């Protein structure tokens, strides 16, 4: 079966097109990974890259991209609105299919080891790859940013990196390397203009107030449509699947006599998460993602490339 990992590195250049293209070229030259998207934000002065492929191929492409960032970006000259601590700022590995979170944690560790050996950039493991609870949250890891870390690292024992030297790289700073689940942006629209109801339902489903473990949720007004919305991030659809959250929202809305009038998936969603929904609704017995024709085609392509 096809093993598929997504990598979404962020690097600290969002203005100089020539530099950005040179860095992206490092992914493009790997014919065995597929560059799905990249987008630069000049205000943030930062570029997000998305590519996918088999684990080993993704790691190699990420390494080449990261080394090129170290070569071309000088953090002493970098300014942007988004918090950052390194030329190659974050490198998360995300399991898509045929791959466990443990596989992605291992990939993150291997990446951090090889990258720090090659470049002397210190690496911090975050989210599912974190080795200390206080490094789970990326915001914690990045607190103080490049300028702050430069002063603290080597002195503060809490800032000892997981890989690489216990000192900042003079131009490339430090890098956060992690493993996390695919994030699904899922919104449910309610047939009312009463924002309180959206807020109450958001509270019912989100982790922070007692709801599902892998749900972040807020209530919003959609003024132009005269309705309200429960806007969510599902941070681990294997743990908390889309259909279960949807059922709970329908049930809570019913308690107020309010209909669910629609929902939205913003951006991409893995096939597995769509199949979970169909599987639940149709009460499927023994259905496998590999029965989806397009998945079978992908598997065939990946076999023939070996």
Q: Which residues are the active-site residues?
A: 82
Q: CA–CA separation, 121 vs 115, rounded Å?
A: 7
| Minimum CB distance to its own copies smaller for 174 or for 269 | 269
Q: Which is nearer to its own copies, 106 or 280 (CB)?
A: 280
Residues sharing a CB contact under 8 Å with residue 8, sequence separation 6 or more, in sequence order? 48, 49, 50, 92, 94
Q: Is the Cβ of residue 195 or residue 275 nearer to its own copies in the bound state?
A: 275
CB of 256 to its own copies, least distance (A): 17
Q: Whole-number minimum distance, CB 274 to its own copies, in Å? A: 5
Cα–Cα distance, 131 to 157 (Å, whole number): 14
For the purposes of burial, counting CB atoms within 10 Å of the CB of 103, is it exposed (0-12), middle (13-18) or buried (19 or more)? middle
CB of 233 to its own copies, least distance (A): 16
Q: Which is nearer to its own copies, 218 or 265 (CB)?
A: 265
DSSP 8-state class, residue 181: P
Residues found near its own copies in the complex (CB under 8 A):
4, 6, 34-36, 52, 96-97, 182, 189, 242-243, 246, 260-265, 267-271, 274-275, 277-278, 280-287, 291-298, 300-301, 304
Minimum Å gap between C-beta 186 and its own copies is 8
N residues, the chain: 306
Please identify, using beta-carbon distances, which residue of 160 and 297 lies nearer to its own copies: 297
User: Alpha-carbon distance 75 to 147, whole Å?
Assistant: 9
d(CA 87, CA 46): 9
Q: Minimum Å distance from CB 56 to its own copies?
A: 17
Q: What are the two backbone dihedrals, phi and then psi, of residue 295, each rounded to the nearest 5 degrees?
A: -65, -40
Close Cβ partners of 66 (under 8 Å, ≥ 6 residues apart): 9, 88, 91, 111, 115, 119, 175
User: Taking the complex as a whole, how short is the minimal distance between the CB of residue 269 and its own copies, in angstroms?
Assistant: 6
Token output for 187:
């919104």
CA–CA distance, 234 with 298 (Å, rounded to integer): 26
- Structure token pair of residue 168: 């900042």
Residue 205 or 242: the one with the smaller Cβ distance to its own copies is: 242
Rounded to whole angstroms, the Cα distance separating 137 from 139 reads 5
Cross-strand pairs, 262: 189
Separation between Cα atoms, residue 131 and residue 117, nearest integer Å: 19
């Amino acid at each position: 079966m096809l093993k598929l990992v997504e990598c979404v590195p962020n690097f600290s250049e969002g203005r100089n097109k020539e530099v950005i293209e040179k860095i992206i070229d490092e992914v493009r030259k790997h014919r065995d990974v597929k560059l799905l998207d990249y987008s630069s934000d000049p205000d943030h002065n930062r570029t997000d890259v998305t590519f996918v492929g088999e684990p080993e191929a993704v790691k190699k492409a990420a390494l080449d991209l990261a080394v090129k960032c170290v070569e071309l970006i000088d953090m002493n000259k970098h300014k942007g609105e988004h918090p950052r601590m390194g030329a190659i700022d974050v490198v998360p590995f995300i399991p898509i299919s045929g791959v466990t979170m443990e596989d992605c944690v291992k990939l993150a560790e291997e990446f951090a080891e090889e990258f720090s050996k090659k470049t002397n950039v210190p690496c911090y493991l975050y989210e599912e790859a974190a080795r200390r609870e206080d490094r789970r949250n990326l915001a914690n890891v990045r607190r103080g940013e490049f300028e702050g870390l430069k002063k603290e690292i080597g002195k503060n024992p809490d800032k000892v990196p997981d890989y690489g030297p216990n000192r900042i790289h003079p131009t490339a700073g430090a890098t956060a390397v992690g493993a996390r689940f695919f994030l699904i942006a899922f919104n449910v629209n309610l047939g009312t203009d009463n924002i309180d109801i959206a807020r109450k339902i958001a509270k019912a489903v989100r982790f922070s107030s007692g709801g599902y473990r892998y749900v972040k949720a807020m209530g919003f007004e959609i003024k132009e449509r005269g309705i309200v919305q429960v806007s969510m991030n599902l941070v681990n659809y294997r743990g908390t699947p889309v259909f279960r959250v949807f059922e709970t929202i329908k049930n809570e809305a019913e308690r107020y006599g309010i209909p669910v009038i629609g929902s939205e998936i913003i951006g991409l969603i893995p096939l597995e998460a769509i199949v979970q929904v169909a599987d639940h609704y149709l009460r499927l017995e023994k259905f496998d993602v590999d029965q989806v024709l397009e998945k079978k085609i992908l598997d065939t392509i990946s076999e023939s490339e070996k």
